[in-house]
């Protein structure tokens, strides 16, 4: 796995790469920014100027002054009190992504943590020491970040090379002592949008692969059902302006090129059902929204999201209380991508129904090898319908959840982390729905043998799934096949082209 050097800022692709195991290092310029910010905080402490979270309490306690001897204890107490997440533990790659985004935020040089903290987070990534982070809690970032910080101070739990250990055991194993936090470091470690941008980056990476597969698998279905490919002609699609539509149109044309099954079906009907004919439009919208959401996440990663932000110089320090940790645009972008992916998964379920429905498919009922004695893919379509229904529910925007916390001090919440978690859940369901379509389309193709030949592009897909999932004959639990098909989507991009 390659190494990524942080010069100015990270983008979502870099964060996703770190999530999958890439190393992350800082340039000398980035190191200098971190060290300067740390000296600025030290100067603020020396001056005694009131600064939120440095020498005051947090939240509704912002006006409560904390004396200098208690400022280190304040940092530690913030970690302990904010570590109140609940629910399932995030995947390793999700926590790695959050840590990468957090390092990126500190590297802007406006947080004020010591370089030692950034180095320790980098060490966690190198040594595969991944703190256990519950997926739910707080307003969407404070508790998640706090659970990572717990291990820095020798508390909490972690997975060290996959083995569950206490935070203290993890630090001993990688050869370091628990950190004693200084002024502001506790607040900086729980603050910002690293959680949402980290999870969002993982979701963007998964969404891109999902869209690649959605375009590919749709061609296997389109070919098996003998669709009218003229609807995908370049000149026809160019009438509607969308980069995404043009991208999907090219993908469909390339993969269906030379298909004798498509040629044999030419003119068989005036036009196909919308779940087939509008693949470029729905999938294209997904690609367009992915581009938009990616730009928003990149902008977030390039931004300072700590509160307060420090600037100026150690000689003339400036501390600014602001609301950069609030991320309405990020929440809205991730919500939009969840809607787009949910809609594509709903269209996939409709194509599954057309494959199994003998009233419209011109294929054996429910793709059964022996209809009547066997039910084939009948109930697989039920599963797809249930998952599509769940995605419709998950499509409700998290950014509209609202909420009031901290004695009316935090009376507006944007919920970007909830939006990211919800997007990941939508992708989970969508991948499985698409896996069902993949298996069903391959089964439909089995019944086309001898009618005409597939395109080279679709044959690559057919051979890819048949290397793992044989033709179904009601001879084994079908769910196993559907999960194997889904796992093919998760493991690698579509073969060929």
* CATH number of the domain that residue 88 is part of: 1.10.275.10
Which of 143, 161, 191 terminates a domain? The answer is 191
Q: How confident is the model at residue 477 (pLDDT cuts 50, 70, 90)?
A: very high
pLDDT (0 to 100) of residue 45: 83
Q: How confident is the model at residue 450 (pLDDT cuts 50, 70, 90)?
A: confident
- DSSP letters spanning 431-444: HHHHHHHHHHHHHH
Output the average pLDDT for the chain: 93
Global pTM? 0.95
DSSP annotation of 178? P
What is the enclosing helix (H) or strand (E) of 16? helix 12-19
Which of 164, 191, 218 terminates a domain? The answer is 191
Strands 157-160 and 163-166: antiparallel
Q: Is the pLDDT of residue 67 over 90?
A: no
pLDDT (0 to 100) of residue 180: 94
pLDDT (0 to 100) of residue 183: 87
Range of the domain at 288: 200-491
Average pLDDT over residues 293-310: 94
Q: Is the pLDDT of residue 390 over 70?
A: yes
3-class state of residue 125 by DSSP: helix
pLDDT (0 to 100) of residue 434: 98
User: What token pair was written down for 489?
Assistant: 């989507």
3-class state of residue 273 by DSSP: coil
Domain-embedded: residue 497: no
On whether both 213 and 122 belong to a single domain, the answer is no
Which of 191, 217, 240 terminates a domain? The answer is 191
CATH of the domain at 403: 1.20.200.10
Number of domains in the chain: 2
Domain-embedded: residue 496: no
On whether both 185 and 310 belong to a single domain, the answer is no
> pLDDT, tens digit, for every residue of 349-366?
999 999 999 999 999 999
> pLDDT, tens digit, for every residue of 110-166?
999 999 999 999 999 999 999 999 998 877 678 999 999 999 999 999 999 999 999
Q: Is the pLDDT of residue 409 over 70?
A: no
The owner of tokens 């990524």 is: 4
Q: How confident is the model at residue 100 (pLDDT cuts 50, 70, 90)?
A: very high
Average pLDDT over residues 9-30: 96
CA distance 145 to 185: 12
CA distance 209 to 189: 32
Domain-embedded: residue 148: yes
Size of the chain in residues: 497
Domain-embedded: residue 414: yes
On whether both 186 and 233 belong to a single domain, the answer is no
Enumerate the β-bridge partners of residue 165: 158
On whether both 442 and 296 belong to a single domain, the answer is yes
pLDDT (0 to 100) of residue 403: 74
On whether both 230 and 92 belong to a single domain, the answer is no
pLDDT (0 to 100) of residue 296: 98
């Amino acid at each position: 796995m390659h190494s990524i050097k942080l010069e100015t800022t990270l983008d979502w692709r870099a964060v996703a790469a770190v999530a999958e195991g890439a190393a992350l290092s800082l340039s000398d310029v980035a190191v200098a920014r971190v060290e300067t910010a740390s000296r600025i905080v030290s100067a603020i402490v020396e001056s005694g100027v009131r600064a939120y979270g440095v020498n005051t309490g947090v939240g509704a306690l912002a006006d409560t002054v904390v004396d200098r001897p208690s400022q280190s204890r304040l940092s530690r107490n913030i970690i302990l009190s904010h570590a109140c997440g609940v629910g399932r533990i995030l995947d390793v790659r999700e926590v790695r992504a959050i840590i990468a985004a957090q390092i990126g935020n500190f590297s802007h040089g406006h947080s004020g943590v010591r370089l030692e903290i950034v180095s320790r987070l980098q060490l966690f990534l190198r040594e595969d020491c991944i703190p256990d982070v519950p997926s739910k809690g707080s307003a969407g970032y404070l508790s998640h970040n706090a659970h990572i910080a717990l291990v820095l101070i020798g508390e909490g739990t972690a997975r060290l090379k996959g083995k569950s250990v206490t935070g203290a055991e993890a630090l001993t194993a990688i050869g370091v002592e628990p950190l004693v936090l200084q002024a502001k470091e506790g607040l900086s470690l729980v603050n910002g949008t690293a959680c949402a941008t980290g999870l969002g980056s993982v979701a963007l990476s998964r969404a891109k692969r999902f869209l690649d597969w959605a375009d590919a698998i749709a061609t296997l279905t389109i070919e098996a059902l003998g669709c009218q490919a003229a609807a995908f002609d370049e000149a026809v699609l160019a009438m509607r302006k969308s980069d995404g539509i043009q991208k999907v149109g090219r993908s469909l044309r390339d993969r269906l090129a030379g298909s004798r099954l498509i040629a044999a079906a030419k003119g068989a009907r005036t036009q196909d059902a919308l779940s087939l004919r509008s693949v470029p439009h729905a999938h294209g919208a997904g690609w367009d929204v992915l581009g938009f959401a990616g730009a928003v996440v990149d902008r977030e990663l390039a931004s300072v999201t700590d509160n307060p932000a420090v600037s100026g110089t150690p000689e003339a320090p400036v501390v600014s209380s602001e609301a950069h940790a609030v991320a309405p645009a990020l929440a809205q972008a991730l919500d939009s991508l969840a809607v787009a992916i949910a809609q594509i998964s709903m269209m996939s379920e409709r194509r599954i129904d057309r494959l199994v429905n003998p009233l419209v498919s011109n294929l054996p009922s429910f793709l059964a090898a022996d209809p009547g004695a066997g039910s084939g893919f009948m109930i697989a379509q039920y599963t797809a319908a249930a998952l599509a229904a769940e995605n419709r529910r998950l499509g409700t925007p998290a950014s509209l959840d609202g909420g009031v916390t901290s004695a009316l001090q935090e009376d507006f919440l944007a919920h970007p982390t909830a939006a990211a978690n919800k997007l990941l859940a939508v992708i989970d369901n969508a991948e499985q729905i698409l896996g069902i379509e993949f298996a069903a389309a391959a089964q439909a193709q089995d019944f086309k043998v001898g009618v005409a030949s597939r395109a080279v592009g679709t044959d690559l897909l057919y051979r890819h799934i048949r290397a793992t999932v044989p033709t179904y004959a009601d001879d084994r639990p079908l769910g196993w096949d559907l999960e194997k098909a889904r796992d093919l989507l998760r493991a690698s991009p579509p073969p060929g082209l």
